[in-house]
Structure formats: structure tokens, C-alpha cells
């Protein structure tokens, strides 16, 4: 049987239609890789997630809408501070397992922490250490200071509450995994810490770990500086 030109056209159109439908079906079930899907921090991260998180850094209103859409418990606090340490955007995650207390941060940091816990920290703990994470210990978020506490030079992202330093994870069975004690080596705790460092790179603009320098030997520095799409991650 010979196909007419019309038959060829009809078959090609049907094939394209089938491919488009299959693609749409895949995107519907992988919202993290769908650039058009509204960001939900409970969805597994995909290749479009980091770009959507980056867009929240300059838009606290949209960021809070994302927290609400993701059913994240948070409080929008009054602005505080002035000059280089002004904090117009103070957002507190009211149910996040941060210790010793839950510090206010920018909304973008709050969104990054939520995505990181759901998409990386909790799954990595269950897979590599057999239980979930009960608490995340931090060393502080807001601190009105310049980089490395110097007397001059650029201000730290901590000065606007746009950063947080993470020191350790306490597992549901009471085990503690700390950057200071467990980063080196190849056991499950070290693999977990490297996995969560790498995962943070998709949720934050800048991630600095013990690999970066000695000043970070005991914590992961996570910040949401608007340095464009790809910040430092090491």
C-alpha cells in the first residue's frame, strides 16, 4: 500500500500529538521539572526547582505565597534594624525543627530550608541512616556584621538575616551528626553530610561547607544572596 502525501501528514500530526500528550503527562507528574508549575515546597525537587527558588530572593510577597501554598507554618514579623542591618523581610518558620530556637530569616531562606528538609535532608537521613531527622541545630541566622567579622569590607548576608549556619542534625533515634565531628571519613554519617551539602545547592544561592575553608569546619553556611542563578557551592 502506498501512502498519499495526505496520509503522511496525518500520521506525522498524530505522532506529534501523542508525543506532546506524553510530555505533558510526564510534566504533570514531575512538577519539579516543569518550569510552568507553581512552586510547591513539598514536591520532589527537579531541574526547574532551583530557578524558581532563585526568583523568590527578590520577591518576598511571592515567597510568602509559596509558603502558604505549600502549607508551611510561618509568621511574618515586623521589620527591624536599619542601614546595612535593616531587615524589612523577617519570616519565622513556626513549626520547623530548628534548635536552639527558631530564628527569623528572610522568606527566601525559610523557603530554602523547607525545600532542603523535605527534598534532601529527610530522604537522605532515612536512606543512609535508617531514621528521620528530629532536630537541626544552627549557630545563628541574623548577625549585624561584615564578612568574617572584619572591621571593613562587604557586609555578611547574616547582617540582613539572609543566611543561616547549620552545625548538626539530631536523628529520631537520638544520634547526632555534626559537621565538626562527622564530615571527614567515608562512613554513613559523612556520606549523609556530603549529600545534604550537595542538596542544599539546589535550594540556596550560596552553600559553604568544611570543604571551603577552615572557618567553615563546623558548619554549613547557607544564604540566599541574589548572585544570579548559580552561586558558590563548595
Between residues 136 and 163, which has the closer beta carbon with respect to Zn ion? 163
Between residues 125 and 159, which has the closer beta carbon with respect to Zn ion? 159
Piece in contact with Zn ion (CB under 5 A), picked from 88-96, 125-133, 155-163, 174-182? 155-163
C-alpha cell at 76: 511574618
With CA atoms as reference, report the closest residue to 162 among 187, 145, 180. Answer: 145
Query: How far apart are CB 159 and Zn ion at their closest, in Å?
Result: 11
Between residues 71 and 214, which has the closer beta carbon with respect to Zn ion? 214
Residue 114 to residue 233: CA distance in whole angstroms: 18
With CA atoms as reference, report the closest residue to 31 among 20, 22, 41. Answer: 41
Between residues 34 and 162, which has the closer beta carbon with respect to Zn ion? 162
Residue 141 to residue 118: CA distance in whole angstroms: 20
Largest CA distance in the chain: 84
Binding of residue 112 to Zn ion (CB under 5 A):
no
Binding of residue 221 to Zn ion (CB under 5 A):
yes
Binding of residue 137 to Zn ion (CB under 5 A):
no
Binding of residue 204 to Zn ion (CB under 5 A):
no
Residue nearest to Zn ion (CB): 221
- Answer for which of 43, 89, 137, 165 binds Zn ion (CB under 5 A) is 165
Binding of residue 197 to Zn ion (CB under 5 A):
no
Q: Are 194 and 132 in contact (CB under 8 A)?
A: no
Count of residues engaged in binding Zn ion, rule: CB under 5 A: 3
Binding of residue 43 to Zn ion (CB under 5 A):
no
Query: How far apart are CB 163 and Zn ion at their closest, in Å?
Result: 5
Place of cell 556520606: 191
Between residues 33 and 143, which has the closer beta carbon with respect to Zn ion? 143
With CA atoms as reference, report the closest residue to 165 among 118, 197, 198, 131. Answer: 197
SS3 content of the chain, % helix, strand, coil (to 5): 40, 20, 40
Between residues 124 and 179, which has the closer beta carbon with respect to Zn ion? 179
Residue 212 to residue 203: CA distance in whole angstroms: 18
> What residue ranges bind Zn ion (CB under 5 A)?
163, 165, 221
Amino acid at each position: 500500500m502506498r501512502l498519499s502525501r495526505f496520509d503522511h501528514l496525518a500520521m506525522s500530526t498524530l505522532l506529534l500529538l501523542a508525543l506532546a500528550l506524553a510530555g505533558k503527562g510526564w510534566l504533570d507528574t514531575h512538577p519539579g521539572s516543569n518550569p510552568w508549575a507553581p512552586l510547591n515546597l513539598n514536591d520532589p525537587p527537579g531541574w526547574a526547582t532551583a530557578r524558581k527558588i532563585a526568583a523568590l530572593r527578590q520577591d518576598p510577597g511571592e515567597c510568602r505565597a509559596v509558603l502558604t501554598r505549600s502549607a508551611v507554618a510561618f509568621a511574618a514579623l515586623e521589620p527591624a534594624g536599619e542601614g546595612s542591618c535593616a531587615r524589612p523581610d523577617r519570616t519565622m518558620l513556626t513549626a520547623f525543627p530548628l534548635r536552639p530556637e527558631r530564628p527569623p530569616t528572610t522568606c527566601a531562606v525559610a523557603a530554602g530550608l523547607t525545600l532542603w528538609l523535605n527534598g534532601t535532608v529527610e530522604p537522605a537521613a532515612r536512606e543512609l541512616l535508617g531514621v528521620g531527622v528530629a532536630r537541626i541545630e544552627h549557630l545563628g541566622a541574623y548577625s549585624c556584621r561584615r564578612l568574617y567579622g572584619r572591621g571593613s569590607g562587604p557586609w555578611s548576608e547574616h547582617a540582613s538575616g539572609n543566611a543561616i549556619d547549620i552545625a548538626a542534625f539530631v536523628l529520631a533515634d537520638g544520634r547526632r551528626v555534626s559537621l565538626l565531628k562527622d564530615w571527614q571519613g567515608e562512613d554513613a554519617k559523612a556520606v549523609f553530610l556530603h549529600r545534604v551539602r550537595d542538596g542544599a545547592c539546589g535550594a540556596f544561592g550560596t552553600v559553604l561547607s568544611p570543604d571551603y575553608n577552615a572557618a567553615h569546619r563546623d558548619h554549613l553556611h547557607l544564604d540566599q544572596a541574589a548572585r544570579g542563578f548559580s552561586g558558590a557551592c563548595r
